[in-house]
Structure 1
Amino acid sequence: MNHPRPEGWRDSVGADAAIDCDVLVVGGGINGAGIARDLAGRGLKVVVAEKDDLASHTSSSSTKLIHGGLRYLEYYEFSLVRKALAEREVLLKSAPHIMWPLRFVMPHDPGMRPVWMIRAGLFLYDHLARREVLPGSTTVDLRTHAAGAPLKKQFSKGFVYSDGWVDDARLVVLNALDAKARGATVLTRTACVDAKRGATQWQATLQSAQGGQRTVTARALVNAAGPWAAQFLAEHAHAPERKSLRLVKGSHIVVPKMFDHDHAYIFQNPDKRIIFAIPYEGEFTLIGTTDVEHRGAIGEARIDADETAYLCEQASRYFARSVTPADVVWSYSGVRPLLDDESGDPSAVTRDYSLELDTAQAPLLNVWGGKITTFRKLAEEAADLLAAPLRAARGAWTEHAFLPGGDLSPTIGAAQRPDTDFSRFVQALALAHPTLPTPMVRRIARAYGQRAAAWLSQPLGAEVAPGLYEAELAFLHDEEWARCADDVLWRRSKLGLHYEDHHRAAVDDWCRRHWGNVASAPTEKAWN
């Protein structure tokens, strides 16, 4: 089996070649990848420059929810909640392999928000946007409902409502893949170190992780650098700071699973914040998040002991079995670039976004803030803003489009419902590959959707770690920009969470031998 070694940025053109394009997008997180996809689909020539791996920072460090944001109603963020609620089903239908419906249980604590307030909030949540797939909210008796079993007996009443789950890092990769399929050039581990603005075009210098440089000439520049957006403007684009970003660290912990049912929990805390406890990777429970002002280096966010203690303490207020720091098997932290609305409480800072287009010279579009649920809408609005000055050939198109692998119809026929469609797809894939373990088939179906069907039929090669074969590693390198073990184990998959140290070491050794000694991108992840 041929395993090509990495060639830096030789994805589509030579390393020394200059590139002419319509739009240079700086940042390979969810907003940058989403904008690149939308613009490429409108017939524009797009280049994406990401200084690390795709989704290596904020976009892989979310709570992994497609949600309207129930708690935002308390801050009167009705426009944001409506927009996010409307996007839930659009996204679920576009990629049923990496997104699926999830029911949330809120145990009622009489010392927290009163029943009438919760019911009013849930009524709004059910009716602010149209629902076709997700069921509405209801009240449950936790003394008899399965979700009550892991909780302390004092919680007898609960409220259940719907949102969705997403594999956030894979969502970014799928957007980048679709952008590439539509003609975009996606350059990872490639920083934009200088961008000079002229009357009609930008001259940018890109630098690879190996130190090589090349020039990009672009008619427009999109600053989608997330928490680095203001810094990029000041230090590399020679532009004055336009907006004030508030950098807030959100941390999560993962513990052995606390319950066996398929619902998630939303817990109200005495400080008026909420945390989630979510079924995770089959064997675990994900608990988060915190909201802490971040004042250190953006790419070096780490959970601290106080955050761990906070999450354990708040979860233990509800679960009959206490959660302790010793239970934590993995943690991750990310820095959210929030619009500074001068709120004293980091939890109250708006999660909405702002798009700022400057056409005084060659167009500059700055992306401020945002949340993963609204990425597609943000990208559509960004592309709409650039369509006129760039004379885009086509209009908005992503609302009814599948993400790569999301169209399961070649295997199962016409789509019915995203959740049941995926179940039918797994069954069909298992029947087509009866010699493969069912858990492996399900994992691959989840990760790749319809894209898995073709390469599963090829020789898998040697098994590098349990359930991970050379064919998948080659696929991740050739098709999904994976360049080191961290890319594979913590972003393209979460296999690192399931493996022992020697399994992770085996994957690392394989990647180094076949792909070269590519340094891992800075990661916010830590495992015990």
Structure 2
Amino acid sequence: MAKHGGIIAMSKTMPSPPRECDLLIVGGGINGAGIARDATGRGLSVVLCEQDALAAHTSSASTKLIHGGLRYLEHYEFGLVRKALREREVLMRIAPHVIHPLRFVMPHDRGQRPGWLIRLGLFLYDHLARRELLPASAAVDLRRHAAGLPLKPMFERGFAYSDAAVDDRRLVELNALDAREKGAAIFTHTRCTSTERHGNHWLATLHDTRNEAQSFTVKARMLVNATGPWAAGFLHDVAHAGARQSLRLVKGSHIVVRKLFDHEDAYIFQHPDGRIVFAIPYRDDTTLIGTTDVEYHGDPATVAITDDEIDYLCALINRYFRQAIDRHDVIASFSGVRPLVNDEAHQRDTASAATRDYRLALDTEGAPLLTVFGGKLTTYRKLAEEAVDRLASHLDNRHGHWTADACLPGGDLFGARPDNRNVLGFAEFVAQMQARYDWLPPTLVERYVHRYGTRIHVLLAGRQSMQELGIETAPGVFAAETDYLVRHEFGQY
């Protein structure tokens, strides 16, 4: 069984696919999965293919945040920040098990912009969109605040604000799972190798990447190119369509070290070169540090962190923390390539200043072709909604918007309709599950809730003892969980 994050294993055999559909979506990252979910919920037939596992690349190599983008205010991207702040609240309500509030502390460095200006930026961040779930920003005295203890004594004051943490890979999987449960056909390890465009449909050939002799053809009324950093190449090499929008590929790398602090807040630091780096509490008593934001010109499939990037992140941490780190302290790392819109007006901007907004390009010279350029994790649902709006109009589909009012699988903690209690009452729900399944270790119940939400009841159905979970195949992973994944998600023995 091929594992991803110690849990998921993707199918090893090619199921019988539907031969015709309304939408063929190429790309199983957050945008492709989000579009598949939205479209199937509107009654459209969907086939999605992904050349690797779901979220195998950019979508699982993020800083694990759902955020408005505080630093985008520096570049006057008020529209993007407002949109992201609105989406932050929506996503927290529909996926409370995989998205959680997180408080950030920003130590003030005397060499940075004045404190009053930072406070003004935080005021805008608090008020650009309606905020119901997170506390407002505030000034903090680091000599008395818990976040000040690990920092060097020179950092005496700072600011605190709120955003949210996310299990990015799981967010993709939940969107794909919801799409499949609504009727979509989801094919992982399946590459779209060729297409033919006709007046009212596309003919696409899909190959199993583990067995190139195994292929099938899909006839689709529309084609969606959601291949992320491969979008321009797919247009040219597979769809044989000219790209009207170019991409700017930016590599973001992260390192993981043993935890640098004991409290639950995260840090946001500004490097003297203007780039932003986060230090975030991470799994298994570690700290996640990133990102680097550097131009990238290689193959997105082979991206990897460099020694220079590791040194850069370590130097930033050593600027602020009492405990110094170096390359030898890095226990894990990951890198991803962000496909950013190459805005000609800002081509000379640094990679970190390039816009994180998205563009949707619809080509109707024959059967429609929609290409997604750019985007960010936080705004994926809105991107998907706008994408399906544009496609549905060509299919005479008038279903309307629905994804903001429907929980992702397992997110219906206190009822089918998402509301604030899903977020504000999450600890209460965890406690209820720990009481209900008191024969399990509380930490295991909490992990199940964070991953499966209300579907913990499906996972544990008919079981009343640790013995009935079956053998432990990995630390904290029992046969019952593997059985659940095979029966109900994308698992395969």
Give 1:336 shift.
0.4
SS of corresponding position for 2:320: coil
Instruction: Find out whether 1:449 has 2:453 as its counterpart.
Output: yes
Give 1:103 shift.
0.8
Q: CA separation in 1, counterparts of 2:81 and 2:491?
A: 35
1:65-124 CA distance string (max 9 Å, x none): 110111111111111111001111100000110001111100000101221221111111
1:187-246 CA distance string (max 9 Å, x none): 111111111111100000000121211000000011000001111111111112221111
The one of 401, 408, 412 equivalent to 2:413 is 408
Instruction: Find out whether 1:428 has 2:432 as its counterpart.
Output: yes
Aligned to 2:469: 460
Instruction: Find out whether 1:438 has 2:454 as its counterpart.
Output: no
Aligned ranges 1:124-163 → 2 under 5 Å: 124-163=124-163
- RMSD, aligned α-carbons: 1.7
SS of corresponding position for 2:317: helix
Give 1:325 shift.
1.3
Q: CA separation in 2, counterparts of 1:60 and 1:52?
A: 12
Q: CA separation in 2, counterparts of 1:417 and 1:257?
A: 31
Q: CA separation in 2, counterparts of 1:252 and 1:316?
A: 16
Aligned to 2:28: 28
Determine if contact 1:188/1:481 at 8 Å carries over to the other structure.
no
SS of corresponding position for 2:248: strand
Q: CA separation in 1, counterparts of 2:418 and 2:31?
A: 30
Paired-residue identity, %: 57
Q: CA separation in 2, counterparts of 1:340 and 1:293?
A: 12
Aligned residue type for 1:228 = W
Q: CA separation in 2, counterparts of 1:259 and 1:435?
A: 32
Instruction: Find out whether 1:173 has 2:173 as its counterpart.
Output: yes
Determine if contact 2:106/2:268 at 8 Å carries over to the other structure.
yes
Q: CA separation in 1, counterparts of 2:200 and 2:363?
A: 12
Aligned residue type for 1:461 = G
Aligned to 2:479: 470
Aligned ranges 1:121-520 → 2 under 5 Å: 121-209=121-209, 210-211=211-212, 212-341=214-343, 342-409=347-414, 416-457=420-461, 458=463, 459-482=468-491, 515=493
Give 1:440 shift.
1.1
Q: CA separation in 2, counterparts of 1:34 and 1:237?
A: 21
SS of corresponding position for 1:409: coil
- Residues 295, 39 of structure 1: CA spacing in aligned structure 2 closer, same or farther, 3 A cutoff? same
Determine if contact 1:9/1:188 at 8 Å carries over to the other structure.
no
Give 1:6 shift.
4.7
SS of corresponding position for 1:196: strand
1:346-386 CA distance string (max 9 Å, x none): 11111000001112211110100000000000000001111
SS of corresponding position for 1:277: strand
1:404-448 CA distance string (max 9 Å, x none): 00001269x996533442211211111122221111111111000
Aligned to 2:68: 68
Determine if contact 2:18/2:185 at 8 Å carries over to the other structure.
no
**TM-score for the superposition, normalised by structure 2:** 0.94
1:270-296 CA distance string (max 9 Å, x none): 101110000111501100000111111
SS of corresponding position for 1:402: coil
Aligned residue type for 1:345 = T
- Residues 477, 292 of structure 1: CA spacing in aligned structure 2 closer, same or farther, 3 A cutoff? farther
Aligned to 1:54: 54
SS of corresponding position for 1:246: strand
Aligned residue type for 1:250 = G
- Give the total of aligned pairs: 475
Aligned to 1:498: none
- Residues 242, 477 of structure 1: CA spacing in aligned structure 2 closer, same or farther, 3 A cutoff? farther
Q: CA separation in 1, counterparts of 2:50 and 2:329?
A: 35
Give 1:323 shift.
1.9
Q: CA separation in 1, counterparts of 2:430 and 2:54?
A: 27
Aligned residue type for 2:127 = H
- Residues 335, 145 of structure 1: CA spacing in aligned structure 2 closer, same or farther, 3 A cutoff? same
- Residues 126, 415 of structure 1: CA spacing in aligned structure 2 closer, same or farther, 3 A cutoff? closer
Determine if contact 2:471/2:478 at 8 Å carries over to the other structure.
yes
Aligned residue type for 1:301 = V
Aligned residue type for 1:192 = C
Aligned residue type for 2:342 = D
Q: CA separation in 1, counterparts of 2:56 and 2:482?
A: 18
Q: CA separation in 1, counterparts of 2:424 and 2:55?
A: 28
1:454-502 CA distance string (max 9 Å, x none): 222333221112210112123223433245xxxxxxxxxxxxxxxxxxx
- Residues 367, 414 of structure 1: CA spacing in aligned structure 2 closer, same or farther, 3 A cutoff? closer
Aligned residue type for 1:396 = H
Determine if contact 2:251/2:338 at 8 Å carries over to the other structure.
yes
Which ranges in structure 2 are unaligned for 5 or more consecutive residues?
A: 1-8
SS of corresponding position for 2:301: helix
Determine if contact 1:233/1:241 at 8 Å carries over to the other structure.
yes
Q: CA separation in 2, counterparts of 1:33 and 1:18?
A: 18
Aligned to 1:496: none
Aligned to 2:6: none
Give 1:344 shift.
3.5
Q: CA separation in 1, counterparts of 2:76 and 2:418?
A: 40
Give 1:401 shift.
1.2
Give 1:297 shift.
1.2
- Residues 115, 427 of structure 1: CA spacing in aligned structure 2 closer, same or farther, 3 A cutoff? same
Determine if contact 1:429/1:453 at 8 Å carries over to the other structure.
no
Aligned residue type for 2:251 = K
Determine if contact 2:282/2:288 at 8 Å carries over to the other structure.
yes
**TM-score for the superposition, normalised by structure 1:** 0.87
